[in-house]
Amino acid sequence: MTTAIPEKYLDLLSWEKKAFAHLSLVLNDGSPHVTPVWFDYDGEYMILNSAVGRVKDKVLRRSGVAALAISDPDNPYRYMQIRGRVDEITEKSARAMIDRLSQKYTGKPYQWYEGETRVTYKVLPEFVSTMG
């Protein structure tokens, strides 16, 4: 079941806001792993991108769940937490997605492809909490 993002917080997911998400995962040994990530939101899914073989890739494939914390870059006391399941993992158009994300966050195409196979993950929000 999907959970709606409160309208008051949709700006945190907008193209213009350029907020980073902090992706939280649980490693095999039970320890936490948190990484700042670029993201997109298509109105239903949180869209993340990584490279095959990285920690994020391995854990998202194994566990199928993720938690994201997104702070407002203009007011870090205003934030949202999203927890959900990975509904799709694909390499199709993943290179185009990282270029799109790089345009959002850096203003230019992604430049670190050398030897990477990019992968995109669609995370369906199942729990959303907000503050601020």
- Report the CATH number at residue 46: 2.30.110.10
- What three-state secondary structure class fits 37? strand
Is 34 part of any domain?
Answer: yes
Q: How many domains does the chain have?
A: 1
* 46, 22 contact by CB (below 8 A): no
Give 22: exposed, middle or buried? Use CB within 10 Å, 0-12, 13-18, 19+: middle
Quote the pTM value: 0.94
* 91, 117 contact by CB (below 8 A): yes
pLDDT (0 to 100) of residue 119: 98
pLDDT digits (tens, 9 = 90+) for 41-91: 999 999 999 999 999 999 999 999 999 999 999 999 999 999 999 999 999
pLDDT (0 to 100) of residue 63: 97
Residue 1 banded pLDDT, cuts 50, 70, 90? low
Residue-averaged pLDDT of the chain: 95
